[in-house]
């Protein structure tokens, strides 16, 4: 049985992370996609298309979508990238759109809710919101690729972040290698 995952895309730079996640996830799971208006504009500016995947697309204002209810069983949600505004809404239970409502459902139902934050530097407000979201059950994953695998391209860096997200969703993948240790 395929997992069912919701992907929310919000208005932070980094639409390339969302696109890559969708490329892999749509092969392995049933996927719902919600793209905020600002995310769509930023993705267009960054030259990234989030359309055309074999997924169910929902308008962010459609609060009556199936995924807005805890009675609709799905396995989890990823907000990638997660803007500071969305982080704040999730951390404080402010559910004025489908992305934040669905995240709220994940948290109240004890489902996986992964926030791939993309802001830097972080203010005390951001850090407090991250802590509040984590205390509510979210996993905070800053888009912070490592360099131990000696990436050669931007795609390698993107894959490293997406691989960690897939790991936390318990989705098998072949993105990048795994750390095998190092004899210093």
Residue 90 φ then ψ, to 5°: -65, -45
The pLDDT value given to residue 148: 86
- Residue 98 pLDDT > 80: yes
- Residue 65 pLDDT > 80: yes
Q: For residues 99 and 34, is the Cβ–Cβ distance under 8 A? A: yes
Mean of the pLDDT values across residues 120-140? 97
Q: For residues 33 and 63, is the Cβ–Cβ distance under 8 A? A: no
The pLDDT value given to residue 66: 97
Residues 44, 65: Cα–Cα separation, whole Å: 25
3-class DSSP state for residue 43?
A: helix
Binned at pLDDT 50, 70 and 90, residue 108 comes out as very high
Binned at pLDDT 50, 70 and 90, residue 143 comes out as very high
Dump pLDDT digits (tens) for 7-35: 999 998 999 999 999 999 999 999 999 99
3-class DSSP state for residue 138?
A: coil
> In the structure encoding, which two tokens stand for residue 20, read together?
């890559």
Q: How much of the chain exceeds pLDDT 70, in percent?
A: 100
157 CA to centre of own chain: 16
Q: For residues 9 and 98, is the Cβ–Cβ distance under 8 A? A: no
């Amino acid at each position: 049985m395929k997992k069912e995952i919701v992907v929310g895309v919000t208005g932070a730079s980094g639409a390339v992370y969302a696109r890559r996640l969708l490329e892999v996830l749509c092969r392995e799971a049933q996927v719902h996609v919600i793209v905020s208006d600002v995310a769509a504009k930023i993705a267009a500016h960054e030259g990234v298309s989030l359309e055309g995947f074999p997924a169910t697309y929902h308008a962010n204002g459609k609060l009556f979508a199936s995924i807005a209810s805890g009675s609709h069983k799905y396995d989890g949600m990823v907000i990638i990238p997660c803007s500071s505004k969305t982080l704040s809404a999730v951390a404080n239970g402010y559910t004025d759109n489908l992305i934040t409502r669905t995240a709220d459902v994940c948290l109240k139902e004890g489902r996986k809710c992964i926030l791939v934050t993309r802001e830097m530097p972080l203010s005390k407000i951001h850090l407090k919101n991250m802590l509040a979201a984590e205390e509510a059950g979210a996993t905070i994953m800053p888009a912070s690729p490592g360099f131990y695998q000696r990436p050669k391209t931007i795609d390698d860096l993107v894959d490293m972040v997406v691989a960690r997200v897939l790991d936390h969703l318990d989705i098998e993948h072949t993105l990048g290698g795994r750390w095998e240790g190092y004899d210093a």
